[in-house]
Amino acid sequence: MSKVDPNAVKHYLLDLQDRICEAIAGEDGGAFREDAWDRPGGGGGRTRVLEEGSVIEKGGVNFSHVFGDGLPPSATASRPELAGRSFQAMGVSLVIHPRNPYVPTSHANVRLFVAEKPGAEPVWWFGGGYDLTPYYGFHEDVVHWHRTAKDACAPFGEEVYPRFKKWCDDYFYLKHRGEARGVGGLFFDDFNEGGFDNAFAMMRAVGDSYLDAYLPILRKRRDTDYGERERDFQLYRRGRYVEFNLVYDRGTLFGLQSGGRTESILMSLPSLVRWQYDWHPQPGSAEEKLYTDFLPHREWI
């Protein structure tokens, strides 16, 4: 097994954050605000947020590297063998909430987790992925998103994309609503297959392909005309995004339970959102089409 090298991963993650911020800011014409922060329990991070841009209503691209002597309950609940180990976790996590309702929200993250104790081999794994949350669906956009994801996984085995695609479908699902958050993509966790070098290469392939997956969709839809109806539906559907992040998302729960920086953890939430009691789309409408044609799990390629 190749040696675990957190420093190489940290170098890659900082560069990835730079590249993604530069590309998104270039599309918007605005600039990211940066906050460097320290975590009292150990570690810190670099939060970058772009708000009220011409294209991006709110976007955040975070780097964090935190460590400590013990793990929070969210980490040890399913892995009791990790109890009593020191840990370090590092990653880049991003959410882009565009202004135009015809441009999907996108989310991505890549991360490394290492747990250690004297006299024992370290327990480590990579995780991450990316997923797409449209408000008005376009078949060709979703196919492009999934094809890019499949191409990123291809060097690591033909079974990787379908496995990670299903994992994403299963994970980004609101059980209390009985519906998917979006149209999926990739999700993986506890990944250490083939040793450190191979697993790190897999994580890099996912991180490096995010812009290839998202920017063509952003450019194609950013200038589409829309009105109050489309904006209202976008804000209503953003409510599902908030519900998932606060109820189910592992990263949010880990961050809050481990004493992470609340502002950085919750930067994934949109600036504006609305809930409406017992709302249903009009039959035959473009809004209903999201529910009937895009949110149900399916094979896109």
pLDDT digits 0-9 by tens, 3-60: 889 999 999 999 999 999 999 999 999 999 999 998 887 899 999 999 999 999 999 9
Q: Is the pLDDT of residue 285 over 80?
A: yes
Cite the annotated binding site for substrate by residue number.
93, 109-111, 259-261
Cite the annotated binding site for a divalent metal cation by residue number.
97, 107, 146, 176
Alpha-carbon torsion 193, 187, 215, 35, what sign?
negative
Task: Specify whether the CB–CB gap between 59 and 21 falls below 8 A.
Answer: no
From 29-33, 71-75, 261-265, the region with the lowest mean pLDDT: 71-75
The reported pTM is 0.93
Candidate list 65, 107, 139, 297, residue with the active-site label: 107
Task: Specify whether the CB–CB gap between 142 and 134 falls below 8 A.
Answer: yes
Task: Specify whether the CB–CB gap between 12 and 204 falls below 8 A.
Answer: yes
d(CA 301, CA 286): 23
pLDDT at residue 262 in the model: 87
Shortest CA distance to 242 belongs to which of 204, 279, 272, 282? 272
pLDDT at residue 187 in the model: 98
- 3-state DSSP percent of the chain in helix, strand and coil, to 5: 45, 25, 30
In three-state secondary structure terms, 99 is: coil
Span 154-183, pLDDT tens digits: 999 999 999 999 999 999 999 999 999 999
Shortest CA distance to 255 belongs to which of 45, 9, 11? 45
Cite the annotated binding site by residue number.
93, 97, 107, 109-111, 146, 176, 259-261
Q: Name residue 252's beta-bridge partners.
A: none
Residue 25 has, within 13 A of its CA and on its CB side, a CA count of: 16
Task: Specify whether the CB–CB gap between 149 and 186 falls below 8 A.
Answer: yes
Please indicate whether residue 107 is annotated as part of the active site.
yes
In three-state secondary structure terms, 107 is: strand
- Beta strands (DSSP E) in the chain are 33-38, 43-51, 56-68, 86-98, 105-116, 123-133, 173-174, 179-180, 184-191
pLDDT at residue 72 in the model: 67
